Amino acid sequence: MAATKKGLTTVAIYPDWCKGCGLCAAFCPKKVFEMDPVAGKARVVNEEECVNCGFCELHCPDFAIVLSPKNTDTDSSNNPTAKAKP
Amino acid sequence: MSEVTQLIHHYLRHNKKFPHMLCAGCGHGILLGSLIRSVHNAGLSKDEVVVISGIGCSGRLAVYVDFNTIHTTHGRALTFATGIKMANPELVVIVLMGDGDALSIGGNHLIHAARRNIGVNAIILNNEIYGMTGGQCSSTTPQDCFSMTTPFGQLEKSFDIVDMALASGANFVARTTAFHAQLTDEVIGQALANPGFNLIEFFSPCHTQYGRKNKYKNAIAMYQDLKSKTMDVDKYKALEESKREGVMPIGVFLKRDDPALETRYAGVRAKLQEAKQKKAEAAKAAQAKPAKAKEPKPDKGAKGKETKQDKGDKA
pLDDT digits (tens, 9 = 90+) for B188-197: 999 999 999 9
pLDDT band at B230 (very low <50, low <70, confident <90, very high): very high
Claim to verify: residue B131 and residue B173 sit in the same structural domain: yes
Does A23 reach chain B within 8 Å, measured CB to CB?
yes
Claim to verify: residue B270 and residue B252 sit in the same structural domain: no
- Pairs of CB atoms within 8 A across A/B: 79
Q: Smallest Cβ distance to A62: which of B2, B29, B218? A: B29
Claim to verify: residue B214 and residue B289 sit in the same structural domain: no
Buried-exposed string B204-225: b where 16+ CB fall within 10 A, e elsewhere: bbbbbbbbeebebebbbbbbbb
We report the CATH number of the domain holding residue B204 as 3.40.50.970
CA B150 from centre of chain:
30
Structural domain boundaries, residue B150: 2-259
Does B181 reach chain A within 8 Å, measured CB to CB?
yes
> In terms of Cα–Cα distance, which of B57, B91, B88, B86 is closest to B74?
B57
Asked if B19's CB is within 8 angstroms of A62's CB, the reply is yes
Claim to verify: residue B57 and residue B180 sit in the same structural domain: yes
Claim to verify: residue B236 and residue B277 sit in the same structural domain: no
Claim to verify: residue B125 and residue B250 sit in the same structural domain: yes
Residue B34 and residue B187 in contact, taking contact as beta carbons nearer than 8 Å: no
pLDDT digits (tens, 9 = 90+) for B43-71: 999 999 999 999 999 999 999 999 999 99
Asked if B33's CB is within 8 angstroms of A21's CB, the reply is no
- List, as ranges, residues 24-63 from B with C-beta within 8 Å of A: 24-30, 33-34
Interface predicted TM-score of the whole assembly (ipTM), two decimals: 0.80
Residue where a domain stops, chosen among B259, B277, B297: B259
pLDDT digits (tens, 9 = 90+) for B108-165: 999 999 999 999 999 999 999 998 899 999 999 999 999 999 999 999 999 899 999 9
Residue B8 and residue B37 in contact, taking contact as beta carbons nearer than 8 Å: yes
Buried-exposed string B74-91: b where 16+ CB fall within 10 A, e elsewhere: ebbbbbbbbebbeeebeb
A2-84, CATH topology level: Alpha-Beta Plaits (3.30.70)
CB atoms inside a 10 Å sphere around CB B12: 18
Q: Which residue intervals of chain B are DSSP H helices?
A: 2-11, 28-41, 61-64, 77-87, 99, 107-116, 161-168, 181-193, 219-229, 233-238, 261-288, 296-314
CA distance B42 to B39: 5
pLDDT digits (tens, 9 = 90+) for B289-311: 865 555 555 555 555 454 455 55
Residues 6+ apart with CB under 8 A from A6: A48, A49, A50, A51
Residues in chain B: 315
Residue where a domain stops, chosen among B238, B259, B280: B259
Claim to verify: residue B26 and residue B122 sit in the same structural domain: yes
Asked if A64's CB is within 8 angstroms of B4's CB, the reply is no
Claim to verify: residue B21 and residue B134 sit in the same structural domain: yes
Asked if B1's CB is within 8 angstroms of A9's CB, the reply is yes
Claim to verify: residue B181 and residue B295 sit in the same structural domain: no
**How many domains in chain B?**
2
Under DSSP, is residue B269 helix (H, G, I), strand (E, B) or coil?
helix
Mean pLDDT of all residues belonging to chain B:
88
Average pLDDT of each block of 10 consecutive residues along chain A (86 residues)? 69 90 91 90 90 90 89 49 40
For residue A52, the distance in angstroms to the closest alpha carbon of chain B comes to 8
Residues in chain A: 86
Claim to verify: residue B161 and residue B26 sit in the same structural domain: yes
